[in-house]
Structure 1
Amino acid sequence: MSELKRILQQITALSDVPDAAVLKRLIDELRASEKETELANENIQSLIDILRQHPEYGDGLSSFVLRLIIQYRQISLYTDTGIMSDQGFFISLRRLVGHRFLPLLPQEDSVVELVGYLFNKRSDERWLANIEKEKWDELVALLKVEEKHLDLVATAKNSILNAIIILSYRISGIGLHPDLMESYPQILNYSASFVAQNQEAVLFVNQYRQAHELDTLTDITPENAVDSAPLLVMIEQCEDIVATVRKRIYKTGISIRLTNMMLRLDQSLQRIRILTELVTENAQKRDNAIIELIQTLITTANRRYSIIYLIDNNTKLLSRKVTENASRVGEHYISTDKAGYRKMFKKASIGGFVIAFMATTKVVTYELALAPIGRAFLNSMIYGLGFVFIHVIRGTVATKQPAMTAAAIASTISESSGKKSHQLTKLSELVVDILRTQFIAIMGNVMMAIPVALLISFAWLQYTGTPMIGSEQASHLLHDIDPFHSLALPHAAIAGVYLFLSGLIAGYYDNLAVYNHVGARIQRHRLLKAILPPSWLKRLGDFVEANLGAIMGNFLFGVFLGSTATIGFIFGLPIDIRHIAFASANLAHGLFNISADQMSWNIILLSLLGVALIGMVNLTVSFSLALFVALRSKEVQFFEWGRLTKLVFGHIISHPSDFFWPRDKPMKYARIDSQGHMIFDDTSAQKGGKPLPSNYVVRRLSDVRILPESKQASAQNGQTSTDIYYDNQPEKDATQPPNVSDKIVELDDGLVDAELNSMPYTDDIQYDKETKTLNTFDHDTSDVSGNEQNPSVPDSKTTGDVKTPLPKPPKPPKLPS
């Protein structure tokens, strides 16, 4: 007899008194290493074969798991697990760091702790991901529950329905949050969607409970299934509104807090959809929902104390913030047709012309006797102000990767753009267009910087009669770009990192300008209003708001380049920067001013090769980091990088000219025009491109109102009455109170009536309204309701203000350490 079969027999025998240790034995038997993909699938197939041969094992396993799980708190599993926390990053980090020194107490009544005990290996998440989806589907389909165990199903469903209500209220709260309304004031026109989804959730839960008779802890199959379509329609409308708000971020800007809120709103909408499918009659949707929840739960259980996962999650949030707010104007580094290609060459030539003078200025200042800090400041100003000037005169610097590139990349792999394989194909074509655009930008810089630098050196010699720099300094300039006898390539990689960071900085300041309304605030500045005419002030405000990102990105990029060598000198580190545009200008100065006896074809070829390799390293490092941030923001998994690389190299082999010359038929992207401008469309998520209608929602809102307290008191013999009352109900005898029992919304807490009416604990503490003191509940002088002994005194000191004290929930069995 196989070990799997023996364990399943034991599980079936213990289905009424489940022990987590036995289930852990089953999981240990199925476990395989993350690299043993075939073994993992073989083990699952063996389990499937046994369950198919012995259906009673399927019922035993399912009832065992259900009975074990219902001993723990389930609602937080459905409402919190896998959903972004609203807790701040530093608070969470401090908590997890403290856990390393003084361990946190486990939440013994949480399902997450149970799963953490069952799946206690770090590799569990990865080997489970290797199991084929077809086997997951087959396994879940075999875990049927017999009718005698339907009370377990009913208990689990009650928790799921409660979770739907909780998530629905959370969605309403986030959707109507002031921060969200401020970023998109028009959301007030559609706010009924967030209210209506809550109404539909309450109605669906109430109807489902009544139809399936869950209150009696049975789960019958009704003749007519409860329709979840109205709830799903409202969820879809909320998702459309979120998509519309997300598309308007380029106009409104976004904060980290708002990014977190929108991510939680997305995740909560998706979770309520999954929970609805979990109780649906569609077996395929139900099984898929079960699989997705299991995978989410195992992932959360493995990472709940992980500092790396916390940092990973929050940097992903930052990545999303950067890529979702693209630069609206300024530099654009993607061209798809010949017109955009020529325009990029023109802009790069302007940049190369200015860079030749910047490089010359930097070389000349070598003669100045300055302290290290003074040298860093001077170089930073030369670079920073020069780059800003290039931007102002509409030039460009080669290899610069602004936030626009990251946003363009991210737009090709958005959640609604199709399957991942199709997204990666589009992404590979975009990579080709970006690399070609970078190539022509480099050529524009180099082809202008070299001849201009030569002319400057020649003019200097002609007008002064002496070389601009000495032979020794010229030799040093050529040595700095030698790829084999210097650190030119590592220094080029450092410059590539700075190029990438300048793009993030540009995105940050573009977002800051829009989110904080910098332009309008400049126009209200008292001093500026006093010295500038209104028309000039308006132009200044508009210019700063439109170009703040590009200006700050360029300036700080220059500061990075100018101060790195000094920082290396102070700390004794061999660090510096090499940028292809400046390397090409230095190449011209070095070759022109080197002595004749040192000149050779070997030096010329080696220097040209060094310039080319510096450009490749600049481009590779900066572009790879920008690509990493963009893919990270959309959660493209790491293994897909290999597929993307194969697609790009396949394109190199099949169409190498596409990397150097525009295609005959340019590619068209949904969000990028031929010159790299992002195309912002507020309504692209709506069907047929139509805008959200003004009467987008009104499902059951017009005929629903809160039941007055007077009617609540008379409904159902004084018991707690319905939450929702319908104006258009059938007419009844006016002398009789309205019968609204069919519409009562009861949020079941999973406790049966016997538990509610049982004797409470003797040490339950009650609050006395008259004396405003805490009293111990006296069971000898009053019953559970607290009113039998002295009904005329509703607020007696012995009873407090509690009608039915809830019993303490039973503690789940303690897990083995």
Structure 2
Amino acid sequence: MSELKRILQQITALSDVPDPAVLKRLIEELRVSDKEPALANQNIQTLIDILHQHPEYGDGLSSFVLKLIIQYRQISLYTDTGIMSDQGFFNSLRRLVGHRFLPILPQDDSVVELVGYLFDKRTDERWLANIETQKWDELVQLLRVEEKHLDLVATAKNSILNAIIILSYRISGLGLHPDLMDSYPQMLNYSASFVAQNQEAVLFVNQYRQAHELDTLTDITPEQAVDPAPLLVMIEQCEDIVATIRKRIYKTGISIRLTNMMLRLDQSLQRMRILTELVTDDHQRRDRAVIELIQTLITTANRRYSIGHLIDNNTKLLSRKVTENASRVGEHYISTDKAGYQKMLKKASIGGFVIAFMATIKILAYQLALAPMGRAFINSMIYGLGFVFIHVIRGTVATKQPAMTAAAIASTISEGSGKKSHQLNKLSELVVDILRTQFIAIMGNVMLAIPVALIISFAWLQYTGAPMIGTEKAGHLLHDLDPFHSLALPHAAIAGVYLFLAGLIAGYYDNLAVYNKVGARIQRHKLLQYILPVSWLKRLGGFIEANLGAIMGNFLFGVFLGSTATIGYIFGLPIDIRHIAFASANLAHGLFNISADDISWSLILISILGVALIGMVNLIVSFSLALFVALRSKEVRFFEWSRLTKLVFGHIISHPSDFFWPRDKPMKYARIDSQGHMIFDDTSAQKNGKAIPSNYVVRRLSDVRILPESKQAVAQNAEASTDIYYDSQPQGDHTQPHNSPKKVVNLDDGLADEELNSTPYTDDIQYDKVTKTLNTIDNDDTVGHESNHADDKSTGDAKTPLPKPKKPPKLPD
């Protein structure tokens, strides 16, 4: 404790001339390994005890930190840190790879560089995450600023208010972006929300500056606090609109660019809410906002030059795109009741019947003398066209994990589906349903593929008088199934990856068909209009738009399977594929055509075991990848994976039959029906579940217009200065609050229109050269010093450059 106290004494003594090295010593004294959470909490508790005993240390530490950070650029901290960049992946990757060879020059005036100097260990992020929230709250409450240092608070608050304005304009730009409006044309009816939030932000910032007298670099406590409720209401309305657009993605499709845009819009709205809470009088919410910003800043500082983090962020973006748009029509691998279970068995049986013939054709094709690429082409066509044919006749191939599966998993852990423990319980039950559905799909494939393959071999022998394949080829087929003496299981894992990729491809093409309106465009094709009748053309367009994803996913899955062995042969790699359905058909052909001298019970049992293990590996790999993508899109942390695994294994022990046979009482999920189809709706996130009404926005736009330039000169001589003119305002007097129009729009946000519109925009935000912040023109100062403003350039204008801020202290290398 003595060392901590000595450092705090030094910090208090140096609060007027802060040195980052002293603060770094305090952090090093508190730092522990990320694997020692108890010690981390003990050190923070020690710091809290010292601050309780010596309140002057709390003021010294807070003023030290404030004086240090105000020497750096803060606005980018609030507006950019922790918010996804719109820079492309390859540009960012090129910049970071270049940093490895020729380091990027640090931005010495950035707070992020300061934090990167203070928290320079990779484990700092995890170390700080181990500290209990209660201790963070208690520590922040002890860091109070005395009245003599309120100028520091005022400077910090000015930066926060500036950031609110900047974020507000960015939100307006993103919310009114053409790509967003194209994806949801009805949004034009609600676009005023993004404009109105900007007006509320400007009004809130102006009122807050004036009430707290921040322009005089102090921070008084006003008699009546500035109410942030109207601004928070508009932020909530913008969030509801984004949620509504997300729910319509299955109709409109989505692109990576639009996914990025909506994610940035979500993050910007959330950051704007945090910044608003940061300057309010609610101490608890303000302290939580401080903690969240600190954690975000430390995380960003640790990862700003990390290539792994860049890849991590972009794969999360891809995961979000995959899970936000699921197939409407096509393959589904979730059933919750007996009817869905039986339906999957029938579809899998159809698939198994066709696969027996596909496996036979593939075996016979090996007798053709073909070059490697020719063999790859033939095999790819056998697989690809066969899988497409299975889909067209409404069959299915086991162990595939379509994008819909990932979307269904993600829907159980969505923001509105309850607490995390409840979400994980639901997810574990969904995992059970998926695995049971996959089990019956495998059984359906195998139970038809084996007997049909045996019948084909028997019929071939009867009609030709010779076996379909020789004993050497039969032995080779059985050897490929041996899990101990061949690479059957690694090859099954490769097939599992392909099964998962086929699902992603299906989701991509489903999205592509919807996003580009392929069905409607086919119907407008001039050549097709000339060839086909209107009814046929309409059916063709509808069929392609509904099934393009499943067709392309199945076909390309077949290409992957058919070409892998050839690619391995060309490059000298021991790679191939093993799929449960084809392995079962090969088992039947091999056992029927092998010589009687070579057959034995051990060979039969090992081959059957190999088929079973191939199916397990196929399923585990494909399902694990689908689960990983879904949970990654929702940013589920690693320790939650372990909780999920325990829940699933607990279910295996308590109710093993649920993995093989439907439950008596099927589980119900919010967005999945008993047949495994996603349930889509267009309702917003409101409590009553109704769609966004047309009067949802606080309609201040109807009675507001920008003051024309011809009237701006007149307004300069008035008692108040304003940049907005109200149509309903009395003539000749611009200082009185405007009267609300007689026709009041009914609001469904619970706020009265008179309260929202009680104060007009009487302040004009502009840059002031003296304070170097976004400040408002004081009404009294405008009247009393009007002549001085004409000659004095200290207020700044468009032609006068802003003065450069004081350079922060140089950080040690």
TM bracket (short chain): over 0.9
Q: Which residue of 1 aligns with 2:763?
A: 745
| Partner Cα distance (1:580, 1:679) in 2 | 31
Report Cα offsets for 1:690-742 as digits up to 9, x if no partner: 1110111134333433233344323354899423344555x5xx656646897
Q: More displaced, 332-341 or 197-206?
A: 197-206
Which stretch of the first structure deviates more once superposed, 525-534 or 128-137?
525-534
**Is residue 2:808 matched to residue 1:812?**
yes
Flag the 1:14–1:328 CA change in 2: closer, same or farther, 3 A: same
Does the Cα contact within 8 Å between 1:509 and 1:549 map onto a contact in 2?
yes
Shift of 1:140: 0.6
Give the TM-score of the pair, scaled to structure 2. Answer: 0.93
- 1:26 corresponds in structure 2 to 26
- Quick check: 1:155–1:750 contact (8 Å CA) kept in 2? no
* SS at 2:664 equivalent: coil
Q: 1:470 to 1:724 in 2, by over 3 A?
A: same
One-letter amino acid matched to 1:743: Y
CA–CA distance in structure 2, aligned partners of residues 651 and 197 of structure 1:
48
Aligned residue in 1 for 2:587: 587
Q: 1 CA distance for matches of 2:734 and 2:593?
A: 103
Q: Which residue in 2 is equivalent to 1:386?
A: 386
Instruction: Kindly indicate whether the alpha-carbon contact (under 8 Å) linking 2:158 and 2:773 is maintained by their aligned counterparts in 1.
Output: no
Q: How does 1:213-228 map to 2 (within 5 A)?
A: 213-228=213-228
Kept in 2: contact 1:249–1:325 (CA 8 A): yes
- 2:397 maps to 1:400: no
Give the match's secondary structure for 2:366. Answer: helix
- The answer as to whether partners of 1:713 and 1:721 remain within 8 angstroms in 2 is no
For residues 369-418 of structure 1, the C-alpha deviation after alignment (integer angstroms, 9 at most, x for no partner) is 11111111111000000000000000000001111111111111112222
Q: Which runs of 5+ in 2 are unaligned?
A: 738-758, 776-786
Aligned-pair CA distance for 1:685: 1.9
Structure 1 pair 612–803 and aligned structure 2 pair: CA distance change class (3 A):
closer
Q: Find the counterpart in structure 1 of residue 435 from structure 2.
A: 435
Distance, in Å, in 1 between the alignment partners of 2:216 and 2:378 is: 81
Q: Equivalent residues in 2 for 1:80-159 (5 A)?
A: 80-159=80-159
SS at match of 1:705: strand
SS of alignment partner, residue 812 of structure 1: coil
SS of the counterpart of 1:109?
Answer: coil
- Answer yes or no: is the 8 Å Cα contact 2:330–2:550 preserved in 1: yes
The Cα offsets for residues 482-507 of structure 1, whole Å up to 9 and x where unpaired, read as 11111100100000000011011111
Aligned to 1:518: 518
Instruction: Tell me, yes or no, if the aligned pair for 1:786 and 1:803 is still in contact at 8 Å.
Output: no
TM alignment of 1:362-761, pairs within 5 A: 362-683=362-683, 685-717=685-717, 721-728=721-728, 738=735, 743-747=761-765, 752-753=770-771
Does the residue aligned with 1:623 lie in a helix, a strand or coil? helix
In structure 2, what is the equivalent of residue 10 of structure 1? 10
Aligned to 1:769: none
Query: Which amino acid is 2:364 matched to?
Result: V
CA distance in 2, matches of 1:802, 1:442: 72
Confirm or deny: 8 A CA contact 1:756 1:806 kept in the other structure: no
Contact 1:48/1:138 (<8 A) preserved: yes
- Rate the CA distance shift 1:677–1:344 in 2: closer, same or farther, 3 A: same
Do residues 36 (structure 1) and 32 (structure 2) align?
Answer: no
Please tell me the residue identity of whatever aligns with 1:701.
L
> Counterpart of 2:700 in 1: which secondary structure?
coil
- Kept in 1, the 8 Å contact 2:769–2:803? The answer is no
Aligned to 1:212: 212
Is contact 1:529–1:537 with CA below 8 Å preserved after alignment? yes
Return the offset for 1:748: 6.6
| SS of corresponding position for 1:743 | coil
Instruction: Give me the whole-angstrom Cα distance separating, in 1, the residues matched to 2:226 and 2:791.
Output: 40
Deviation at 1:566, TM superposition (A): 0.7
| Alignment deviations for residues 134-182 of structure 1 (CA, whole Å, 9 cap, x no partner) | 1111111111111111111111111111111111111111101110000
Q: CA deviation at 1:753?
A: 5.0
Q: Percent identity, aligned pairs only?
A: 86
Q: How far apart, in 1, do the equivalents of 2:36 and 2:683 lie?
A: 46
Change (3 A) 1:299 1:751: farther
Q: Distance in 2 between matches of 1:736 and 1:688?
A: 44
Contact 2:765 2:774 in 1 (8 A): no
Once the two structures are superposed, residues 612-664 of structure 1 have per-residue CA deviations (whole angstroms, 9 ceiling, x without a partner) of 00000000000001110111111111221111100000000111110000011
Gaps of 5+ in 1: 758-782, 789-793, 795-799
AA of the residue aligned to 2:178: P
Counterpart in 1 of 2:69? 69
Which sits farther off after the overlay, 16-25 or 409-418? 409-418
- AA paired with 1:90? F
Tell me the alpha carbon deviations over residues 108-144 of structure 1, each in whole angstroms, 9 at most, x when there is no partner: 1111111111111111111111111111111111111
Q: Deviations along 1:445-476, whole A, 9 cap, x unmatched?
A: 00010010011111111111111111111111
CA-CA distance at 1:297 after TM superposition? 0.4
Deviations 1:6-37 (A, max 9, x none): 01001111111111111111111111111111
- 1:780 is matched with which residue? none
Instruction: State the TM-score, normalized to the length of structure 1.
Output: 0.92
Quick one: which amino acid aligns to residue 257 of structure 1?
A: R
Tell whether the 8 Å contact from 1:162 to 1:747 is kept in structure 2 after alignment.
Answer: no
Change beyond 3 A, Cα 1:476–1:556? same
Moved more, 805-814 or 434-443: 805-814
Return closer, same or farther for 1:24/1:801 CA change in 2, 3 Å cut-off.
Answer: closer
Cα deviation digits, residues 310-354 of structure 1 (max 9, x gap): 111111111111111101101110000000000000000000000
Measured in 1, the distance between the counterparts of 2:788 and 2:391 equals 78
Q: Residue in 2 aligned with 1:772?
A: none
Matched residue type, 2:812: P
Q: Distance in 2 between matches of 1:749 and 1:429?
A: 58
Residue type matched to 1:17 in 2? V
Please provide the CA RMSD for this pair: 2.1
Q: 1:735 to 1:450 in 2, by over 3 A?
A: closer
Question: Displacement of 1:89 after TM fit?
Answer: 1.1
